[in-house]
Homo-oligomer: A and B are copies of this chain.
């Protein structure tokens, strides 16, 4: 059994890790910490877990973390970089679900996250945990930076096009939409049901932190910089991300459907639907799949990709477990096999 710890377990990614790991028979959760809820039983805070865990939150100083094989950080940005160095020194491998190690360019990171990076020495060796791009590096990584939710759906949707150099990457557009759980479980007026319910809006339209993360990935795909205009939106629902991607084709000679199907043929968690389909977020609710489809409009040279994920699964906890499986040499789909919850 692989011993696992979770730092920051009271948020939505924390409970989602627990939900998914309950179905994972090679993993044992031995410690889960919370600054604010130390002493509270996990199933008291999350009654959906009654009968699954006999575990209480401990405080951050919990020494059992150091004995873990893998530690997940499900903390707000800025926490992992403070705590990871000591843990890694004791031998634990780390999967960080926050943004602390997602950007290789520290200048860009510090601009978007508004503080100095406190573990710059760990950044070069941190592996960006998108298995469809970096599976081999993940296998050997000691620190995996789990991708952002929007960034996952958007990079996977652009991947075959950009890898093959088929689109004008001087201007890509990604219109993203997310359920409210993406904003986390902290008490904020802006994500109250009374504010979010029965309404829709863009946010971060003048620039969002996932923009540079996506552009870093696009650059890796094609070996040169790319520009994306990314605008996120808030959907009056709990879970799910949809991204509609627009790009101008520079090469119109390819069978794009075949390209996408071929690119992802061996990927257990990417599903390319038939041309012209409309993936729904509910078709991936609770599952680790990124489901996508392609479209073109009559007489236009643009390609449209619609891509959906569950923001808490493929966009966070599920992808983290996929990464754990890869790091530990387990079957990649272990603990992630159940179908999505539809309706």
Contacts and interface: CB of A to CB of B under 8 A. Distances in A.
Give the number of copies in the complex.
4
Contacts of A282: 48, 198-199
A287 interface: yes
Contacts of A126: none
A259 interface: no
Most interface-central of A181, A189, A343 (chain B CB within 10 A): A343
Interface string A174-211: 01010111011111110111111111111101110001
Interface in A88-127: none
B338 A202 contact: no
Interface string A1-43: 0000000000010010011001100000000000000000000
A142 interface: no
B229 A246 contact: yes
Contact of A286 (B187, B273, B283, B341): B341
A341 B19 contact: yes
Interface string A38-61: 000000001111111000000000
Given A48-B339, A200-B242, A231-B244, 9 more contacts: A47-B273, A179-B197, A198-B282, A200-B235, A201-B278, A201-B306, A227-B300, A229-B300, A229-B304
Given A197-B238, A239-B198, A239-B343, A271 B51 contact: yes
Interface in A325-341: 337-341
